Structure 1
Amino acid sequence: MRIIGGTARGLHLAAVGEGDAKAHLRPTSDRVRESIFNLLINGGYGNPLRDARVLDVFAGTGALGLEALSRGAAEAVFLENGAAALALLKRNIALMRAVDRCEILRRDATKPGINPGAAFDVVFLDPPYGKAMGEQALTALIPWLAPEALVIWEESLPPIPPSGFVPLDQRKYGDTLVTILKAPS
């Protein structure tokens, strides 16, 4: 697993192998991550990452948030509560030398509480597949989002977004379905 583009292009992140089923770690493949970022940057959304405040939900290894930092995001906040994932996440932030632009919140994404900072412009949502946790998390995170924030949601089945979210695009990559939504204004 590596950073695909931007200032940290080619940086190898901590190895997870095929994932850790017990810890619900299923890293987004380099191919899917590259497709997501190509779509974001070349898909008619302008450059939503430039100077953005990014939230990586069910962060796991943090690869999505770190990729966003490499491609121009100002800061990334990682929402994760699994011990194995937190260890990998801390290691990857250190490998990228991005400690000063990252914050880790050890919280349940479906019950995140109050946002401790500014609203988020871009949200990566990569819940465990098939458990409806993405729907719960996004509903709970609505107060955390900037008006018209972009939400990039990875799931195995078509997600059911909360009321007011506008679907912008949906692409299938193997068993991963990527949906891009715009938050209410």
Structure 2
Amino acid sequence: MTRIIAGRWGGRRLAVPPRGTRPTTDRVREAVFSRLDHGDFLRGARVLDLFAGSGALGLEALSRGAAHATLVEADSRAASVLRANARDLGAGDAVRIAKERVRAFLSRDGSPYDIILLDPPYDIARDELAAVLAEAAPHLAQGGVMVLEWSSRAGSAPWPDALAQTASKAYGETAIHYAEPRGDAPHAELEGTAHGGSVEA
């Protein structure tokens, strides 16, 4: 089991798939969402959670004030678990669940998102991850932020030219990388969102 850390559902437990996924630890999730929350990235945000697993990232975003979260997960067992988690929290129409492969979803979806969260398998091939990031980049709204959780042993994130990395931090075996559209004004840290906030370390 894992849990929602803060917000309207803070403390509520979430089921996790029996195997095949790697839930983000509470420590890492708190670091990510504290950064995003501090800068008001979350309030009213449209969130896309790719490789969603139990849905913990997307549901945490909703708990902290996001308006809508789309959760994409190809594994049938994991998709069933995240559906149950969303139902048990009473998320209702604030959640859309897509049970399909990430690249297939990105190829057909035309929606813009303020926050895109990616937690792919750590053993994903670098070329495959680079392709996913390149295909996800056009879905990121100006002023938005993309957050990638990946193995800290894997080195730098393979961002496409359309995105510029704004921050990166390792937490043991996990590294969190942040990027924003290159067309946005340059920032030393995550500053400026579709909602007019800023994020500081």
Question: Do the aligned partners of 2:137 and 2:162 also contact (CA within 8 Å) in 1?
Answer: no
- Trace 1:22-33 onto structure 2 (pairs within 5 A): 23=20, 25-33=21-29
Question: Do the aligned partners of 1:147 and 1:184 also contact (CA within 8 Å) in 2?
Answer: no
SS of corresponding position for 2:102: coil
1:177, 1:144 → 2: CA distance? 23
Higher helix proportion: 2
2:69 is aligned with 1:88: no
User: 2:173 maps to which residue?
Assistant: 175
SS of corresponding position for 1:73: coil
2:51 is aligned with 1:58: yes
TM-score of the aligned structures, taking structure 2 as reference length: 0.82
User: 1:69 maps to which residue?
Assistant: 62
Q: Which amino acid aligns with 2:25?
A: S
**How many pairs does the alignment contain?**
176
Q: List alignment gaps of at least 5 residues for structure 1.
A: none
Q: Which amino acid aligns with 2:28?
A: V
SS of corresponding position for 1:182: strand
Cα distance per residue 1:85-132 (max 9 Å; x no partner): 10111011012110210001122113322215x310001011111323
SS of corresponding position for 1:142: helix
Question: Do the aligned partners of 2:16 and 2:54 also contact (CA within 8 Å) in 1?
Answer: no
2:108 is aligned with 1:114: yes
Q: Which amino acid aligns with 1:104?
A: I
Question: Do the aligned partners of 1:148 and 1:183 also contact (CA within 8 Å) in 2?
Answer: yes
Question: Do the aligned partners of 1:40 and 1:48 also contact (CA within 8 Å) in 2?
Answer: yes
How far the C-alpha of 1:15 sits from its partner, in A, is 4.0
Q: List alignment gaps of at least 5 residues for structure 2.
A: 184-201
Question: Do the aligned partners of 2:16 and 2:23 also contact (CA within 8 Å) in 1?
Answer: no
2:114, 2:64 → 1: CA distance? 14
How far the C-alpha of 1:41 sits from its partner, in A, is 2.3
Farther off after superposition, 148-157 or 137-146: 137-146
User: 1:163 maps to which residue?
Assistant: 161
Question: Do the aligned partners of 1:111 and 1:140 also contact (CA within 8 Å) in 2?
Answer: no
Percent identical pairs in the alignment equals 37
User: 2:189 maps to which residue?
Assistant: none
SS of corresponding position for 1:111: helix
- In structure 2, relative to structure 1, the CA distance for the partners of 1:15 and 1:79 (3 Å cut) is closer
TM-score of the aligned structures, taking structure 1 as reference length: 0.89
Farther off after superposition, 85-94 or 129-138: 129-138
The 4+ residue runs of structure 1 with deviation greater than 6 A are none
How far the C-alpha of 1:30 sits from its partner, in A, is 1.0
Q: What root-mean-square deviation, in Å, do the aligned CA atoms of Structure 1 and Structure 2 show?
A: 1.5
SS of corresponding position for 1:110: helix
